[in-house]
Amino acid sequence: MDGQIFDERPQTRTKYKALGIHHLNQIADIGCLSKEQIQTIRIVGQVFPFRTNDYVLKELIDWEKIPDDPIFRLVFPQRDMLTEEDFMSMARLVKGDAPQSEIECLRHDIQSRLNPHPAGQRELNIPTEESLPIDGLQHKYRETVLFFPSRGQTCHAYCTFCFRWAQFTGNKELKIASKDADTIRMYLARNKQLTDLLVTGGDPMVMKTRALERYLHPILQDSSLDHIVNIRIGTKALSFWPHRFIHDTDADDLMRLFEDIIQTGRSLAIMAHFNHPRELATDSARQAIQRIRNTGAVIRTQSPLLNHINNHEDIWAALWNQQVQLGLIPYYMFVERDTGARHYFELPLAKCVEIYQKSVRQVSGLARTVRGPSMSATPGKVEISGIETVANERVFVLRFLQGRDPSWVGRPFFAKYNPQATWLDHLKPAFGQSSFFFEEG
């Protein structure tokens, strides 16, 4: 296999250190940022969380290609992520050394206009036990529960498009997280329809292996939880910090934990987040993939389709081809969600389905396991299957991949074609219907 694309590059250190808005001068030295670029990052970074590390800076970003470099846009806040008006207001405060309280006030104001909790996450998905909400769980689809361990609520670096951005900006009311392992086990034990536990965050891979074990071992050993047969761990560590699986002091313990999970007869899926083929090209990423696969875990992949980062069919075809070659299973292509700097990243649904179709047509059938483009919307995960003309009307053909009501899954439905629509709530039912079938009752 080739893949030695970056062997001319400096070796990065293997001890993790987060670099944030207070390290911009240090970052500028690594990456040759101008004074003006630093200032822009400082201004936009007041609103959108910013964090990176040595591996991302030295092995993923191609500094000769900034500002167009996709990984640069993935981790560094960009000027156009704010409206001109908001940018100018924040610039005035930052340049004028305004008191922190004034900056925070403006930050709150801007953030609150950016739909910090999309798709009813807060109100609709949190399960209750004796009518108290259970902190740290989200249960939307019958067979799968999401678990947000409290120590896993950050990431090795932050994506500028992240729909969890509100969690990272220190606003406590917006956080979803958990410390109470017993309450969670009780909920799992009582819900026998569950088969899947998806550990997510943030990124649970920022946790020490011992902390992760404290959550998972009791679940693995509890015979009242035998119905939980699939464990998934959602992570972007394979792209932002592959050393987590190779060089971190507890990387070997982590591999043993993966083996322990599989030893109980369960399946373990690492739900890996990759936005661009570059993230798969480093030696470290490839070693980490190999180590994880050696434990018997399966790696499935997902990414949103993002303007300025991966908005071309050839990028996706390369991404999926390389994944299949490395033994990964392409799983989801998502539509960028209706939150944060969506105006910067979003693409019309019509464009999304065009890119999906053009890329999926280029790849082996083994890579066509990928589903999408899908919207994680309030009623469920909705895939745009295509655009057709039916009975003289131009329509989007849609279907539920997941639904709040499981009987919706797989059911096709139709919306009037709308070339500007970027989300489900922009769509109107086709064929003169007054509502979609899932809105009835």
**Which residues contribute to the site for ligand SF4 (CB under 6 A)?**
155, 158-159, 162, 164, 201-203, 236, 273
Nearer to ligand PLP, 146 or 270 (CB): 146
At its nearest, how many Å lie between ligand SF4 and the CB of residue 26? 21
Q: Which residue from 24, 82, 401, 421 is in contact with ligand PLP, where contact means CB under 6 A?
A: 401
Question: Which of ligand PLP, ligand SF4, none is residue 158 near (CB under 5 to 8 Å by kind)?
Answer: ligand SF4
Residues 36-65 as x/- pattern, contact with ligand PLP by CB under 6 A: ------------------------------
Residue bearing tokens 């590390």: 53
Nearer to ligand SF4, 56 or 251 (CB): 56
Regarding 141 and contact with ligand PLP (CB under 6 A), the answer is: yes
Regarding 320 and contact with ligand PLP (CB under 6 A), the answer is: no
Question: Which of ligand SF4, ligand PLP, none is residue 162 near (CB under 5 to 8 Å by kind)?
Answer: ligand SF4
Nearer to ligand PLP, 82 or 197 (CB): 197
Regarding 305 and contact with ligand PLP (CB under 6 A), the answer is: no
Question: Which of ligand PLP, ligand SF4, none is residue 42 near (CB under 5 to 8 Å by kind)?
Answer: none
At its nearest, how many Å lie between ligand PLP and the CB of residue 163? 10
Nearer to ligand SF4, 302 or 321 (CB): 302
Q: Which of 372, 378, 318 is nearest to 347 (CA)?
A: 372
Regarding 235 and contact with ligand PLP (CB under 6 A), the answer is: no
At its nearest, how many Å lie between ligand SF4 and the CB of residue 49? 8
Regarding 197 and contact with ligand PLP (CB under 6 A), the answer is: no
Alpha-carbon span 344 to 348, nearest angstrom: 12
At its nearest, how many Å lie between ligand SF4 and the CB of residue 340? 10
Which residues of the chain form contacts with ligand PLP (CB under 6 A)? 138, 140-141, 144, 146, 198, 376, 381, 401-402
